[in-house]
Structure 1
Amino acid sequence: MEASQTGIQTQTQTQTRFRIKILLTSLSAMVAETSTFPIDLTKTRIQLHGESQPLSSSSSSSSTRSTNAFRVASEIVREQGVLGLYKGLSPAIIRHLFYTPIRIVGYENLRNFVSSDGSLSLSSKALVGGISGVIAQVVASPADLVKVRMQADGRIVSRGLQPRYKGPFDALKKIVAMEGFGGLWKGVFPNVQRAFLVNMGELACYDHAKRFVISNQISDDNIYAHTLASIMSGLSATALSCPADVVKTRMMNQAGGKGGNVMYKNSYDCLVKTVKIEGLTALWKGFFPTWARLGPWQFVFWVSYEKFRQIAGLSSF
């Protein structure tokens, strides 16, 4: 009888810790996303820069002009005001309410399932991280699609045209009406590819780097160790994922009606056309703002998440 009650208490405590982890990851992700969203918007605009579009000659010449992160951000502020830097924030927050808890908590559970003490090789952690990211991205892909479309709408507004969508729910409604329910998962394949690479680099590298720093007595399990680990994971995640991120952004931005023509048939076609028209380096368009966002994002997220876990009485990640 006592053993049965003990088992029930243990199960209840496990479920409670699981729910707390989900809450803390969501909260930490919202803080990190809000802090770094202007950089993400700038990165998206740069990745779409140079893409062939049926514009007027003046717009066309403008689209071929060289660009950089500072110029793009300055144009956004000049044309739309400071709030223009947060265009698409609401779907980004909604996305992270699904994406981040699934990948973070999923990674931790899978890691502990495979090895109770978490002492896996870097390659094993990379695989676990990639799988967690794929599952999370499939669930969150519709919100990611809406975010990209709303971020890209700023370019339309800058040309004096009406934006395609009034808000995230209007975007969802119009996408389903024009492109079908499956249209919400447009670009899901390059999205999943990117998620696998990002989480393979981010989660595995953060986990491994933090344990390396602590085990080699470079630092205790504190903000210094978390900062070092987040910087290292941000660089590896950016280098691995940037090409897939460019393809994902372009695939998700193209809106086509049922039976209508689209610029890219699939992610491979987008990859080939991008390289053919703009060169191989185009696959790393937005590398600096991507890294500049991933670094601060991970710093804010991991420091917040580790601190929240400590306050909640949970062990370190």
Structure 2
Amino acid sequence: MSDEKSKGKDAPKPRTIPKYMNFIIGGTAGMMGITIVQPADLLKTRMQLLGPAGKNASFVKVAGDILRKEGILGFYVGLSAALLRQATYGTGRLGCFNAMFDWHKANRGVPNFPTKIAMGVVSGAFGAWIGTPAEVALIRMTADGRLPPEKKRNYKNVFNALTRVTQEEGITTLWRGAGATVSRAMVVNGAQLGSYSQAREILLPYMYDGLPLHAAAAMIAGFVTTIASLPVDIVKTRVQNAEKGTGQLQVLRSVIRNEGVMALWSGMMPTYAKIGPMTILIFVFLEQLNKLYLHVTS
């Protein structure tokens, strides 16, 4: 017995990744993922901004219009802003969650399910707040292609967009819709974490615990997250694209009154086409980057 105890004491502790690397790896994984799903994100934004005129427009029609008018590169308009958003929002969200998880595990044991949801909500709010300027730039850049020539903003890149918004409209405009952005992030993180965990638990008896299981659970989580977050996302998008400051409730009432309640779920297919694969990609990239870091530093 004493030998077993001594072996337990002498057993090497599993290597962990430093807290600062959690932030760096989280942001990098997000940037890698968004590079692949940017076309779906752009489609989602364009559909959300159509308003009453585009009530019956399908994502296939919107995609066709973009391809015809802007070419294949039109699907990657605003990519620099999307990358900056992941470098801020993704870094803050994933880094904050991992830091809180590690602290809780070291001091109070493995967190239970409700605690994990709370951690996801808090980390989502933190990441969203610091990522709002890039979000504003992203919405405006992806919306530019649908505007008439005289109203186009023609931002050259995300840094040009941030500079011009600050100079022309004031620095506080960079946080326009921050409340809606934070609200959406809290809903997304809570729904994503909860539904992924539940789907994984349900599927586990029927599937091997590996990539196929994680992918299936992530796709289910992506669908649940899409349904839960789209109304908040549409309000956020329109608030941030408005030329003048507009409140969330004002936008929400306007959408329901002029377009109907179901308009709050417009762009569902491209949104799901982004969230589902994005969830899978982030976790795959996170795992591979973690392994790479441990290998390089071993």
Same structural fold, with TM-score higher than 0.5 when normalized by the shorter chain: yes
Q: What is the alpha-carbon distance in structure 2 between the residues aligned to residue 65 and residue 95 of structure 1?
A: 29
Match of 2:4 in 1: none
Equivalent residue for 2:208? 219
Partners of 1:254 and 1:77 in 2: how far apart? Answer: 25
Residues matched between the structures, number: 279
Name the structure where helix makes up a greater proportion of residues.
Answer: 2
Once residues 153 and 224 of structure 1 are traced to their aligned partners in structure 2, the CA distance between those partners, rounded to angstroms, is: 38
| Aligned counterparts of 1:20 and 1:246: Cα–Cα separation in 2 | 33
Q: Do structure 1's residue 193 and structure 2's residue 148 form an aligned pair?
A: no
Cα separation, 2, equivalents of 1:105 and 1:207: 19
Match of 1:125 among 116, 119, 124: 116
Which residue pairs with 2:248 in the alignment? 267
Map 1:174-185 onto structure 2 (within 5 A).
174-185=164-175
Matched with 1:60 is none
Q: Give SS of 2:110's match.
A: coil
Instruction: Measure, in 2, the Cα distance between the counterparts of 1:230 and 1:292.
Output: 12
1:162 to 1:64, Cα distance in 2 relative to 1, 3 A: closer
> Which residue matches 1:27?
28
Match of 1:237 in 2: 225
CA contact (8 A) 1:213 1:219 kept: no
Runs (4+) off by over 4 Å:
207-214
Pairwise CA RMSD = 2.3
Partner of 1:304: 285
Aligned partner of residue 128 in structure 2, secondary structure: helix
Q: Is the 8 A contact 1:230 1:302 kept in 2?
A: no
Please state if 1:246 is matched with 2:247. Answer: no
Aligned pair 1:139/2:130, yes or no? yes
Distance 2:196 2:236 in 1: 24
Residue pair 1:36, 1:296 contacting (<8 A) in 2 also: yes
CA contact (8 A) 1:227 1:303 kept: no
Deviation at 1:278, TM superposition (A): 0.4
Deviation at 1:32, TM superposition (A): 0.9
Q: Which secondary structure does the structure 1 equivalent of 2:51 belong to?
A: coil
The 3 A distance-change label for structure 1 pair 207 and 306 is farther
Q: Contact 1:129/1:204 (CA < 8 Å) preserved in 2?
A: no
Alpha-carbon offset, residue 65 of structure 1: 6.3
Question: What 5-or-longer segments of structure 2 have no aligned partner?
Answer: 1-12
Distance 2:163 2:289 in 1: 36
Corresponding position of 1:78: 68
Query: How far did 1:115 drift?
Result: 4.3
Residue 48 of structure 2: aligned partner: 47
Select 2:159's aligned residue among 136, 144, 169. Answer: 169
1:255 aligns with 2:250: no
Between the two proteins, what is the percent identity of the paired residues? 30
- Do residues 284 (structure 1) and 273 (structure 2) align? no
Aligned to 2:96: 106
